[in-house]
Amino acid sequence: MSLVGQAAVLVAFPVLASAIGAIVAALRPPGPRIVSGVQHFAAGVVMAALVGEVMPELRAEGHLDWTVAGFVCGTALVLGLGAYGRHTEAHAAGELPPHQPRFGAWRRQAVAAAGAKTLPIGMLGAVAVDLLLDGVLVGLGVRLGTTQGVILTIALTLEILFLGLSVVSELHEGGLARRHAVMMTIGLGLTTAVGAIGAALFLGGVSTNIMSFVLAFGAAALLYLVVEELLVEAHEERESVWLGAMFFLGFILIYVLASMEM
């Protein structure tokens, strides 16, 4: 099977996860502790994929200059999106002056602002950019190898499953009908497929230095996802032993799967 075909098969799982998450959130939203547990677990899975698959591949490629450049560019993008989300949400809510920071996950802020009657395209675009990057990582995972592709797909499927749960809830709370919120979330999920197939099609034969740049770019986005989004939101719920254990369970599960060389 070609790289594009493999990417299409793998990305079907996160796309399906976004639809399942959206439908579940519309029909029977899970309680806050269940959501927090999923967030902890997903954070552990994504972190394991980052340190166990992406970073070793970057070191093996040996292009330190391209790796640093890609990581810096990826960091600039996600931090810029975070600042934009806080700035726009503050203006929409009328709670804070433009210069005063407001902390929280940029994607959740973007979705909350998008739930307003006007549905600002810029805010929805921020969510789409995040999903596009997720898809690119799935597409690049195909080139890295079967094990790496599957591990990255598992990690991003769990992340996007949670995204489907949260986006529908936030849009509905912002005044959008549940049916429309579900359709919008499914549409956003398809952005992941665009990123995966596009990466397999256009990056499948690029040089190793370009590969290092793109992988490092994606690594920065994954790191931000874990530290500034999943764990920040997960800790809004009162911490307990089992919630904390979910992070380590997700991490060791991915480590075991990778060690088995599926």
pLDDT tens, position by position, 86-141: 666 666 555 444 433 333 454 555 444 444 444 545 556 667 777 888 888 888 87
With CA atoms as reference, report the closest residue to 181 among 24, 31, 12: 24
Q: What is the DSSP string of 182-217?
A: HHHHHHHHHHHHHHHHHHHHHSTT--HHHHHHHHHH
Residue 115: φ, ψ to 5°:
-75, -5
pLDDT band at 42 (very low <50, low <70, confident <90, very high): confident
Better-scored residue on pLDDT, 30 or 194: 194
Q: What is the spatial distance between Cα 262 and Cα 258, in angstroms, rounded to a whole number?
A: 7
Tell me what pLDDT residue 96 has: 43
Residue 63 DSSP class: -
| 189: number of Cβ within 10 Å | 27
Question: Could you tell me the two tokens for 2?
Answer: 């070609």
Tell me what pLDDT residue 252 has: 92
Q: What is the spatial distance between Cα 95 and Cα 143, in angstroms, rounded to a whole number?
A: 47
Q: What is the spatial distance between Cα 253 and Cα 87, in angstroms, rounded to a whole number?
A: 38
Per DSSP, which regions of the chain are E strands?
none
Start-to-end CA distance of the chain, whole Å, equals 18
Q: What is the spatial distance between Cα 41 and Cα 33, in angstroms, rounded to a whole number?
A: 12
Cβ proximity of 17 and 191 under 8 Å: no
Q: What average pLDDT does the structure give for the chain?
A: 78
Q: What is the spatial distance between Cα 124 and Cα 61, in angstroms, rounded to a whole number?
A: 35
Least confident of 3-12, 52-61, 100-109, 236-245: 100-109
Stated length of the chain:
262
Residue 161 identity: L
pLDDT tens, position by position, 160-184: 887 777 777 777 666 677 788 788 8
Q: What is the spatial distance between Cα 9 and Cα 200, in angstroms, rounded to a whole number?
A: 12
Reported pTM: 0.74
Domain boundaries of the chain, sorted by first residue: 3-20+32-259
Average pLDDT of the residues in 24-33: 81
Q: What is the spatial distance between Cα 50 and Cα 58, in angstroms, rounded to a whole number?
A: 11
Tell me what pLDDT residue 89 has: 60
pLDDT tens, position by position, 45-71: 888 888 888 888 888 878 899 999 999
Q: What is the spatial distance between Cα 223 and Cα 97, in angstroms, rounded to a whole number?
A: 29
